[in-house]
Amino acid sequence: GAVVSQHPSRVICKSGTSVKIECRSLDFQATTMFWYRQFPKQSLMLMATSNEGSKATYEQGVEKDKFLINHASLTLSTLTVTSAHPEDSSFYICSARDARVGQPQHFGDGTRLSIL
């Protein structure tokens, strides 16, 4: 079946560090990818929609300068958390929409980000 690879799975770093998370569709082309954030025991909240070759669309309340999204190819989107602080600690999950009609979104395994 369709696979989405998300890397890294776990990051622990100091406050002020910028962290890049990659989301790759391994066996299909993804014109659109989505980035979600999930706090403990809560639901997934959409942060932004990443479209190949164009600027990402951010949800209300999400700082686009804080969470930089790049979707440079049909199989790769990256989320960079710039100058991360402890309040940015969370679980980040990407999903990719198969460009073929009628296909569901496929999720990556998530990245647990811990800022010390």
By CB under 8 A, name the binding residues for other proteins. 32, 34, 38, 42-46, 49, 51, 57, 91, 93, 95, 97, 104-105, 107, 109-110, 112
Which burial class, exposed, middle or buried, applies to 67 when counting CB atoms under 10 A from its CB (0-12, 13-18, 19+)?
Answer: buried
For residue 16, the minimal CB distance to other proteins (Å) is 26
Q: Which is nearer to other proteins, 48 or 81 (CB)?
A: 48
Q: How far apart are the first and last CA of the chain?
A: 37
For residue 54, the minimal CB distance to other proteins (Å) is 11
Q: Which is nearer to other proteins, 86 or 102 (CB)?
A: 102
Q: Which is nearer to other proteins, 14 or 41 (CB)?
A: 41
Q: Which is nearer to other proteins, 52 or 82 (CB)?
A: 52
Distance (Å, whole) CA 69 – CA 27: 22
Strand-strand pairing, 30-38 and 90-98: antiparallel
For residue 83, the minimal CB distance to other proteins (Å) is 26
Distance (Å, whole) CA 31 – CA 36: 17
For residue 37, the minimal CB distance to other proteins (Å) is 12
Distance (Å, whole) CA 61 – CA 96: 22
